[in-house]
Chain A
Amino acid sequence: MTITEAQQLAYISGQAAEARVRFELETEGMTLNIGPQHPATHGTLRIVVRLDGEQVVWADPVCGYMHRGYEKLAETRKYQQVTTLVNRIDWLGHFANEVPFILAVEQLYEVEAPPRAQWLRTIFFELARIANITLFLGEMGVQLGAFTPVFYAFRDREHVLNLMESVTGGRFHPNFDRVGGLKDDIPKGWVEETKAVMNKVRDFCDEMEDLLVGNEIYEQRTRGIGVIPARVGLEYGLSGANIRASGIDWDIRRDSPSPLAWKECDWKVWTHTDGDVWARYWVRLQETREAAKIVDQLCDGLPSGPIMAKMPARLRVPKGEAWISTENPLGEMGYYVVSDGGPSGPFRCKIRTPSFNNISIVPWLLRGVYVPDVISILASLYFILGDIDR
C-alpha cells in the first residue's frame, strides 16, 4: 500500500494541529486528596492521587490516622486482656479477630478447647463473617450511587448482631473467646433463632443479587475495572475474597489444619477468574451464602459437653513461638505470638492483618484508572481502617 503525498501532508498537518492544541490546552497535573474523611474510605485513610485530566497517574495511600500501637500494648497486657484489644482491629468482624490469637496461645499452652467450644467458636466466627460482609454487599451499592442496598444491609446485619448480643452481651466487641474455651454457653432457644436468621441472610443475598448483580449500570461500573492478575495479587499478599476473585483457589479454613469445626461441614470455596471489581463482589456474595450454610450445619450437629477446658486462673504460658492464621472476613489474619514463659503477657505479638496487604496494592492498581473507578476499586478491595493501622 502506497501513501500519496496528499495523505502524508494531511497526516503532518494533523500532527501539527494536535501539538498546537496540546500546547494551548496543556493540563497541569492535579493532586487530589481522597480522604482522610471520605465515605469510600471506611474510616480515615487518605489517598493522595496525582491526576492527569480524569486519569490517575500516581496514587499513594497515607495510613496512620488510626494507629493505636496494639503490638506494643499487647506486650504490657496479659493474654486474657489482649482479646479486648484485638476485638477492635477489624471492628466489623469482631469475634473473628479473637480466634487466631486465642488459638496461638492455646498452641503455646498445649491445651485444646472442648468440642462444643470449638463448634460454637466456628459459629460465631461465621456470624462475624456474615455481619462483616453483609455490610460490604450493601456498601458497594452506595459507592456506585445506589442507596437502597445499604439500608437492607444494615437491616439484616442487625439480626446477626442481635444474635451475637444475646450470647456475648456485646454487639461489636464480644470479647468472648478465652484461652481453653469460651466464656459462656449459648442461651436457650438460640439455635432455633440462629437458623431463622440464616434464612433471612439467604434472602438478603438473593435481594442483593436482584438489586445489583443483574443491574446494567452496576455491571458497567464494575466489569473489567480494577483487574488484579493472580500473580501480582499474591506478590502483594492479597488474601481472602480479593485473591479468590483472581482465580486462586485457596481458603485457610479448608486448606490448613485447624481445631475449629469447618472440616465437619459441607461447603464450597468459590472462586472467579475475572479478578475485577465485579468478581470480588460476586465471590463475597457466594461466601456469605456458604457462611450461612456452615452455620446451619453446625447448629444441627452442635455437640454437648463443657465449653471450657480446665484452666488455672493465672495463666503461665510456656516459652515458645507460635504462628496461627485464619480466614477472616477480610482475608488472612495471623498472630505471631512469642512467649517468654513468664506470668505476664506475650513477649511479642506480631499482628498480620489482611487489609494492610490488601491496600498495599493500591499504588499499583490505581495507576491509569479514571477517578470514578477509584472509588469502586477501593470499595471492592474492602478494607477496614482499624485493620490497616492496628
Chain B
Amino acid sequence: MSDQDAPAPADAEAEAPAEPTTPPDPAREALADALRRDLGDGFLEHANANGDLWIRVSRDCWRRAAETLKVKHGFDYFCFVSGIDWLENPELSSRYEAVYSGDGGSGEDGGDEAAPAADAGPTLLGDRVAGGDTRFTVFGRVFSTTKKWGVTLKADLDEANPTVESWVTVYRGADWHERETWEMFGFQFDGHPGLRHMYLPGGFEGFPLRKDFPLLARMVKPWPGLVDKEPIPGEDDDSEQQGEQQEAAAT
C-alpha cells in the first residue's frame, strides 16, 4: 500500500495515475542496470511495480532481451507471451454506459464518464507501466526459479506492421503462446516455425482481441442484465425508491 488514499473515492478523476510502485529494490535495480549495459539503446524504460520488474525494450531487441535474461541472468522459466491493443473503443464503453448507469435515473456517476468517450473518437490509453505510446504492445514474462522473481518484458509494435522476432529459439514454450497472439492480435513473429490457428477455425477472419473487433454476441442481443436490472444494495436510496416505483407502475 502506498501513501495514496485508499480506497480511492468513487468520484476521483479517471486521469489520476495510480500506479502502485514499490520502492526500488537493489536486486531488481542491479538487473535493470546490467540489462541496460547489455542492450544499449534497445533498453527503453523500466519500472519496479507490484513486486516484479517491468522492462520496455525496443522491438529490435525483443528476442535479444529474452536471450540475455535467460542465458546471463538465469531466468529459466517461461511464463507467457501475449499482446495488448491500447485502442480505447468508444463504442464499447458508451454501450456499456447505456446499459449500466444511463437510463435508470441513478445518476450517481453516470453523466461524467459517458461524455468524454463518446465524441473524442478512438484514442489510445496512456499512463502505462514502463511507458510506451503505440497502439500495440507485445509483452511476455519470464521468471527465475532461483531468484524467485520475474521480469515482464514489453515492446511497442508498429501499428501498420506489428512484427517482432520470435522467442521460440530462446524458450520453446513460446511456440503456442505466439501462435495464440498471432491469432488473437495479428502480430507476426519472425522465425516462428509455423503460425497456425490455435483455437479458431482455419478460415477465421479478423483478430478477435483487437479492440476494433466487435463482440457480435453483444451487438445483436442486449446484455441480459439490462432486463432484470436490480438496484445495487447500499446505493443511494433515491434509485431504489425509483426502482420500486417503476415496479409498482409496471404491476
Contact = CB atoms under 8 A, between A and B. Distances in A.
Query: Which of A232, A311, A319 has the largest number of chain B CB atoms within 10 A?
Result: A319
B142 to A, nearest CB: 9
A310 B78 contact: no
A257 to B, nearest CB: 6
Contact of B52 (A69, A248, A310, A323): A323
A69 B208 contact: yes
B227 to A, nearest CB: 15
Contacts of A64: 197-201
B145 A347 contact: no
Contacts of B80: 237, 334, 350, 352, 357
Contacts of A112: 1
A17 interface: no
Interface of B is mostly: loop
Contact of A63 (B2, B199, B209): B199
Interface in B84-105: 84-85, 88, 92-93, 96-97, 100-101
A352 B79 contact: yes
A75 B148 CA distance: 31
A12 interface: no
Interface in B227-242: 232-235
B245 interface: no
A318 B12 contact: yes
Contact of B7 (A111, A248, A332): A111
B7 A109 contact: yes
A107 B50 contact: yes
A151 interface: no
A52 interface: no
B108 A319 contact: no
Interface string B120-150: 0000010111000000000101000100110
A64 B79 CA distance: 20
Interface in B1-39: 1-2, 4, 6-8, 10, 12, 14-20
Interface in A85-119: 107-112
A216 interface: no
A115 B245 CA distance: 41
B18 A318 contact: yes
Interface residues of B, number: 69
A316 B176 contact: no
Contact of B129 (A110, A321, A350): A321
Given A234-B78, A237-B79, A110 B232 contact: no
Contact of A235 (B7, B8, B172): B172
Contacts of A356: 176-177
B162 interface: no
B111 to A, nearest CB: 11
A342 interface: yes
A31 to B, nearest CB: 17
Please classify how large the interface on chain A is, using the bins under 10, 10 to 19, 20 to 34, 35 or more: 35 or more
A303 interface: no
A240 to B, nearest CB: 12
Contacts of B201: 64
B108 A63 contact: no
A357 B173 contact: yes
B175 A360 contact: yes
B109 A343 contact: yes
B10 A312 contact: yes
A313 interface: yes
Contacts of B78: 234-237, 357
A348 B127 CA distance: 14
Query: Which of A318, A350, A357 has the largest number of chain B CB atoms within 10 A?
Result: A318
Contacts of A321: 19, 49, 128-129
A314 B231 CA distance: 11
Given A67-B199, A352-B80, A361-B173, 13 more contacts: A63-B198, A64-B197, A64-B199, A78-B100, A111-B7, A234-B76, A256-B149, A316-B12, A318-B8, A320-B18, A323-B52, A340-B14, A343-B100
8 contacts: A64-B199, A109-B8, A110-B7, A235-B78, A312-B10, A319-B17, A319-B127, A340-B88
Interface of A: 63-64, 67, 69, 71-73, 75-76, 78, 107-112, 180, 231-232, 234-237, 239, 248, 250, 255-257, 309-314, 316, 318-325, 332, 334, 336, 338, 340-344, 347-348, 350, 352, 356-357, 360-361, 364, 389
4 A-B pairs closest in CB distance: A318-B18, A64-B199, A110-B6, A67-B199
